[in-house]
Amino acid sequence: MRAEILTVGSELLLGQIVDTNAAFIARHLAGIGLDLFHKVTVGDNQGRVAEAIRTALGRAQVVITTGGLGPTADDVTREAVAEAFGRDLVFVPELMEQVDAFFRARGLPSSPSNRKQAYIPAGAIPVENPLGTAPCFIVEEGDRSLAVLPGVPREMEYLLVTRVLPHVRERHGIQGTIVSRLVRVCGLGESRVGELLADFMTRGGNPTVGTMAHLGRVDVRIAAKGPDDASARTLIAPVEAAVRQRLGDVVYGTDGDTLEGVVAAGLEARALTLALVEAGTGGLVTERLTAGGAAARVRALVASPADAARTLGVEDGDSLAPRLAGAARAWAGAALGAAVVVGPPEGEGLSRAHDVAIAVRAQGPAGEWRHRLAGDAVQVRARAQVLALDGLRRALGALGR
């Protein structure tokens, strides 16, 4: 069965906001096994929105729109839906009551323009929106369903997951589910991961295995179809075990795991503090570790390589990172010391590159890595922080429990 997504908003076409709604909906449509062949974006123009709805309903059984449901004059989606179906907009007193109740609960007056939101196409199924003022609705005609959702991501996501998808599954008798498991990898490029997993990736069948490259890391996605969640997971388990076996210690986690979260958990589990010198990464590693929950376990020094050397009283020059890591550990009285040092740019244009050195010290050396990263300074800093976090992860792993 086919689905189509229609996102409405001129700001999307102007590139002023990124269409995260379409990506969210796409993932969830895949999750119930619907095929998505088109994602369409149109501006706030009634005629063009109506046309896009008719086109979508001509080639997909399930169409989901977001945006343009608000009270202002440039919100035209409800009028466009009415036009596309040739139905009138009718006033639904219960929807008006919901809108009024929303404002009352917040001690705010509702404005006359909110009255517009209580109109939906004749025969549409109203869907209450407990998170916002824009009530949304589903229109059924023949074997086609059109779900009309607000643009605000938080509202859209809630309504899609709790209201629209259950309705669509029931109405169209959709039984299967697709479950995706992510195996998170750092320290190998996507092409190398692809080589190691080539037989899984070309085999097809169920589950399927694919890779997605991100900055400095790779996700391996194992996706299985099954009649329900549990049976899909049962299909995934042996493939995941085989993938992990094949990849070894470059695997740092699964699904929602992050590098910073893994490092933070590693420090916490061993009750270790970390003295961290960031020379050339502008505090990015500290920021990530803070986000991962390790703020109380990290003492950081953010400085240029030369200033870091001077502050910690070590000699500047070659192989600075291990000296900084050792001196920082002593300076902060921490169990672990680490340093990431981004060197100055070398070369011009496309061959421009920076040397990046990472060192970790416990009682003795606990790891040292050197990389030469091409790209502009922003890209190099972004990748250097990932490599630094991965170095910390590996050093912690090597320390044992």
Number of residues that bind Mg ion (CB under 5 A): 2
DSSP label at 161? I
Between 81 and 134, name the residue whose CB sits nearer to ligand ATP: 134
Nearest distance from C-beta of residue 21 to ligand ATP, angstroms? 3
- Of 151 and 326, nearer to Mg ion (C-beta) is 151
Residue 152 binding partner per list ligand ATP, Mg ion, none, with a CB distance cut-off of 5 to 8 Å that depends on partner kind: ligand ATP
The site partner of 266 among ligand ATP, Mg ion, none (C-beta below 5 to 8 Å per kind) is: none
When CB distances are held under 5 to 8 angstroms depending on the partner's kind, the choice from Mg ion, ligand ATP, none that residue 367 binds is none
| 82-141 positions binding ligand ATP, by CB under 6 A | 132-134
Residue showing tokens 């069965």:
1
For the bound state, the minimum distance from the C-beta of residue 77 to ligand ATP, rounded and expressed in Å, comes to 7
Q: Is 309 exposed, middle or buried (0-12, 13-18, 19+ CB in 10 A)?
A: buried
Orientation of helix 77-85 relative to helix 46-59, angle to 10°: 50
Determine the interface stretch with ligand ATP among 144-152, 251-259, 322-330, 346-354 (rule: CB under 6 A): 144-152
9 near ligand ATP, judged by CB under 6 A: yes
| Residue 17 interface partner, choices Mg ion, ligand ATP, none, CB cut-off 5-8 Å depending on type | ligand ATP
180, 223 in Cβ contact below 8 A?
Answer: yes
Tell me if 339 sits within 8 A of 388, measured CB to CB: no
Question: How many whole angstroms separate alpha carbon 201 and alpha carbon 208?
Answer: 7
For ligand ATP, the closer of residues 8 and 32 by Cβ is 8
CB of 191 vs Mg ion, minimal distance in Å = 44
79 binds, among ligand ATP, Mg ion, none (CB under 5 to 8 A by kind): none
- The answer to whether residue 132 forms part of the interface with Mg ion (CB under 5 A) is no
Tell me how many residues contact ligand ATP (CB under 6 A).
21
Residue 363 half-sphere exposure toward CB, CA atoms < 13 A? 2
What residues between 34 and 93 interact with ligand ATP by CB under 6 A?
A: 66-70, 75
The residues, ordered by sequence, that sit 6+ positions from 63 with a Cβ below 8 Å of its Cβ are 3, 4, 5, 6, 53, 56, 57, 144, 145, 146, 147
Q: Which of residues 63-122 bind Mg ion (CB under 5 A)?
A: 70, 75
Residue 82 binding: pick among ligand ATP, Mg ion, none (C-beta 5-8 Å cut-off by kind): none
* Contact between 267 and 294 (Cβ < 8 Å): yes
CB of 155 to ligand ATP, least distance (A): 7
d(CA 36, CA 331): 57
* Region 16-35 residues binding ligand ATP, contact defined as CB under 6 A: 17, 19-22
Q: Does 266 bind Mg ion (CB under 5 A)?
A: no
Residue 337 sits at φ, ψ, to 5 deg, of: -125, 145
Binder to ligand ATP among 147, 152, 186, 279 (CB under 6 A)? 152
Q: Which of 75, 260 has the CB closer to Mg ion? A: 75
Q: Is 320 strand, coil or helix? A: helix
Decide if residue 390 touches ligand ATP (CB under 6 A).
no
CB of 86 to ligand ATP, least distance (A): 23
Whichever of 70 and 305 has its CB closer to Mg ion, that residue is: 70
Q: By the 8 A CB rule, do 275 and 336 touch?
A: yes
Residue 64 or 339 having the CB closest to ligand ATP: 64
| Residue whose C-alpha is closest to residue 360's, from 386, 308, 330, 324 | 324
* Parallel/antiparallel/unpaired status of strands 353-361 and 336-342: antiparallel
Nearer to ligand ATP, 67 or 326 (CB): 67
Please state, in angstroms and rounded to a whole number, the distance separating the CA atoms of residues 80 and 259.
46
Query: How do the residues of the chain divide into helix, strand and coil, expressed in percent and rounded to 5?
Result: 45, 30, 25
Rounded Cα–Cα distance for residues 324 and 354 (Å) = 19
Question: Within positions 161 to 190, which residues make up the interface with ligand ATP, using CB under 6 A?
Answer: none
Residues that bind Mg ion (CB under 5 A): 70, 75
Residues that bind ligand ATP (CB under 6 A): 7, 9, 12, 17, 19-22, 66-70, 75, 132-134, 150-153
